[in-house]
């Protein structure tokens, strides 16, 4: 037996230490170190005597029996994987508990099984009866998925080595798996890593695609799938607000496809429904006619997505005003606020600022700057923005509105959904072409946009006042203490 080497392993990132300490120096998390046996999996006696076996070297060209990719039959899932599951690849699906990972995989495996592929679903968390119950609820009981409730990796590998090679194997979840080769308790980093390694080896050897489910908890209590992320071919995260029906599948890492595509689903009483036109969903419950909302024409991967940004700017009662943002980068918000202050005379230091991306979507594009600025100013001056307008453009630190990629796709989507106008960077006007079907309002500096919104605000207040083209934003200082 190998000499037992006990050390303290961070359950979040897998870093090992000789002695216990409160904080992991590698990832900065507190209280994540646990004692584990990290001795090698092969006993020393065998290790020293084992003679290297020779293996055949192969050429790049060669025959593979099946199509290299296996389409899942769910187009939103295929979009994120990059066209289907790759033979012999291992994919990690992460997400908060209860978000719908098991539901998604039950649906995907059932569709594949119905299409005649050998598909295996191993549940380490739920009993067979529970998985059956879910399948029944989803109306998928008839699908010939091979099901088992097992947690021993050795047993799983021997069972699956018999008969035809499965095209897809789901392991739900990797935290519940354990292997004899290491001594640590199930759920620890060492066990998770060793189990994942054994399963990855099986996938590479046989050509079966494997999906590992991994729970992600914020406090790092469960051995983080972090360590597994480096070992697998693709990592996807299933996200969503618990209270909302939308679920977004996002590729975090993908050796065989893009990482910027999203798949959108809606959780219904009958399982997950694919949402092929996300814009309609995100705009379905718009608050028409409320100040502080602007529609952003965004791009997620290759697909345009229209989404509403909601801002609330209110005088603060605190010494340091609050800045809260959901679905967008907080530092991006700070930057837009700073540009508004420095170049447009919009004083926000006495106001609390809240920004929310409707529908639970998370935006990563800088192109959302213009829409965010429009929503913020609209809320501050209490002037509603035109309900038929979309906004996009990046704001530079000098207050210039910079062009962004894929202008025609954004405009086309907006026109398709019945929008009449687009507020966009001046320099993108040429790219838009004459036949966009929208009235284009090109702005080259943020000051212009702020003045336009301010003019709307003053027109609302004094209905007979002439439209001020370059209204000084004096009313922004309203409510400052």
Question: Which residue, 76 or 172, is less far from Mg ion as judged by CB?
Answer: 172
Contact 423, 443 (CB under 8 A): yes
Question: Taking CB within 5 to 8 Å according to partner kind, which of ligand TYD, Mg ion, none is near residue 271?
Answer: ligand TYD
| 172 versus 394: smaller Cβ distance to ligand TYD | 172
Indicate the residue among 79 and 247 with the shorter CB distance to ligand TYD.
247
Q: Among residue numbers 86 through 145, which ones bind ligand TYD (CB under 6 A)?
A: 95, 97-103, 134, 137-138
Choice between 102 and 310, CB closer to Mg ion: 102
Between residues 11 and 106, which has the closer beta carbon with respect to Mg ion? 106
Cα separation of 311 and 324, whole Å? 10
Shorter beta-carbon distance to Mg ion: residue 89 or 102: 102
Phi, psi of 280 (to 5 degrees): -60, -40
Q: Site residues (CB under 5 A) for Mg ion?
A: 102
- Using CA atoms, how far residue 459 sits from 386, 391, 428, 465, in Å, is 13, 21, 29, 6
Q: How far is the CB of 101 from Mg ion (least distance, A)?
A: 5
Hey, is 361 helix, strand or coil? Answer: coil
CA distance 119 to 110: 8
Min separation Cβ 108 and ligand TYD, Å: 12
**Long-range contacts of 313-318, Cβ-Cβ distance < 8 Å, separation of 24 or more:** 313/348, 313/351, 313/352, 313/353, 313/354, 313/376, 313/379, 313/380, 314/351, 314/352, 315/350, 315/351, 315/352, 315/479, 315/480, 315/481, 316/350, 316/351, 316/352, 318/352
Least separation in angstroms between residue 245's CB and ligand TYD is: 8
Number of H helices, E strands in the chain: 13, 23
Furthest C-alpha separation in the chain: 95
The first and second tokens of residue 183, run together, are 């001594």
CB 270 within 8 A of CB 254: no
Cα separation, 364 vs 76, in Å, equals 20
Q: CA-to-CA distance for 102 and 156, rounded, in angstroms?
A: 19
Rounded least distance, CB 130 to Mg ion, Å: 10
CB of 126 to ligand TYD, least distance (A): 8
Question: Residue 95 Cβ, how far from ligand TYD at the closest point, in Å?
Answer: 6
168 or 385: whose CB is closer to Mg ion?
168
446 binds, among Mg ion, ligand TYD, none (CB under 5 to 8 A by kind): none
In the complex, the smallest distance separating the C-beta of residue 100 from Mg ion, rounded to whole angstroms, is: 8
> For 60, which DSSP code?
S
Residue 287 tokens, joined:
């608050």
Pick what 269 binds: Mg ion, ligand TYD, none; C-beta below 5 to 8 Å, kind-dependent: ligand TYD
| Residue 62 binds which of Mg ion, ligand TYD, none (CB < 5-8 A, kind-dependent) | none
From the CB of 334, what's the least distance to ligand TYD, in Å? 34
How many residues bind ligand TYD (CB under 6 A)? The answer is 15
Q: Per-residue string for binding with ligand TYD, 276-315, x by CB under 6 A? A: ----------------------------------------
Residues 253-272 that bind ligand TYD (CB under 6 A): 267, 269-271
- Give the residue nearest to Mg ion (CB): 102
Closer of 137 and 475 to ligand TYD (Cβ): 137
Sites of contact with ligand TYD (CB under 6 A): 95, 97-103, 134, 137-138, 267, 269-271
């Amino acid at each position: 037996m190998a000499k037992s080497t006990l050390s303290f392993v961070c359950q979040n990132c897998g870093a090992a230490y000789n002695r216990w300490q409160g904080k992991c120096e590698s990832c900065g998390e507190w209280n994540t170190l646990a004692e584990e046996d990290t001795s090698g999996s092969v006993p020393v006696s065998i290790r020293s005597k084992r003679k290297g076996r020779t293996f055949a070297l192969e050429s790049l060209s060669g025959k593979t029996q099946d199509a290299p990719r296996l389409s899942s039959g769910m187009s939103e899932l295929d979009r994120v994987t990059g066209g289907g599951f790759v033979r012999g690849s291992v994919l990690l699906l992460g997400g908060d508990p209860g978000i719908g990972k098991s539901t998604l995989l039950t649906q995907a495996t059932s569709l594949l099984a119905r299409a005649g592929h050998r598909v295996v679903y191993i549940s380490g968390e739920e009993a067979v009866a529970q998985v059956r119950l879910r399948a029944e609820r989803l109306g998928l009981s008839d699908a010939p998925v091979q099901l088992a409730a097992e947690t021993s990796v050795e047993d799983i590998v021997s069972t699956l080595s018999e008969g035809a090679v499965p095209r897809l194997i789901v392991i739900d979840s990797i935290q519940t798996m354990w292997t004899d080769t290491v001594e640590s308790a199930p759920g620890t980093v060492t066990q998770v890593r060793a189990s994942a390694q054994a399963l990855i080896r099986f996938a590479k050897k046989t050509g079966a695609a494997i999906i590992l489910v991994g729970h992600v908890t914020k406090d790092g209590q469960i051995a983080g799938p972090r360590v597994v992320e480096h070992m697998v071919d693709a990592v996807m995260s299933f996200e969503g607000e618990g209270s909302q029906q939308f679920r977004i599948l996002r590729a975090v890492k993908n050796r065989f496809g893009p990482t910027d595509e999203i798949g959108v689903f809606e959780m219904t009483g009958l399982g997950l429904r694919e949402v092929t036109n996300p814009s309609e969903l995100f705009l379905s419950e718009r608050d028409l006619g409320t100040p502080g909302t602007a529609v952003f024409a965004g791009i997620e991967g290759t697909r345009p997505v229209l989404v509403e940004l909601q801002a609330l700017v209110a005088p603060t009662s605190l010494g340091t005003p609050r800045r809260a943002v959901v679905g967008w980068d907080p530092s991006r918000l700070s930057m837009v606020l700073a540009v508004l202050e420095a170049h447009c005379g919009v004083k926000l230091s006495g106001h609390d600022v809240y920004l929310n991306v409707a529908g639970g979507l998370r935006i990563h594009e800088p192109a959302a700057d213009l829409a965010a600025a429009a929503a913020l100013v609209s809320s501050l001056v209490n002037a509603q923005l035109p309900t038929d307008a979309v906004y996009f453009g990046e704001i530079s630190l000098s207050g210039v509105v910079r062009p962004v990629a894929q202008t025609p796709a954004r405009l086309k989507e907006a026109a398709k959904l019945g929008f009449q106008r687009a507020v966009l960077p001046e320099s993108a006007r040429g790219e838009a072409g004459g036949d966009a079907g929208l009235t284009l309002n090109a702005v080259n500096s943020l000051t212009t946009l702020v003045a336009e919104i301010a003019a709307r605000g003053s027109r609302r207040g004094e209905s007979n006042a002439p439209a001020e083209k370059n209204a000084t934003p004096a009313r922004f200082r309203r409510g400052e203490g």
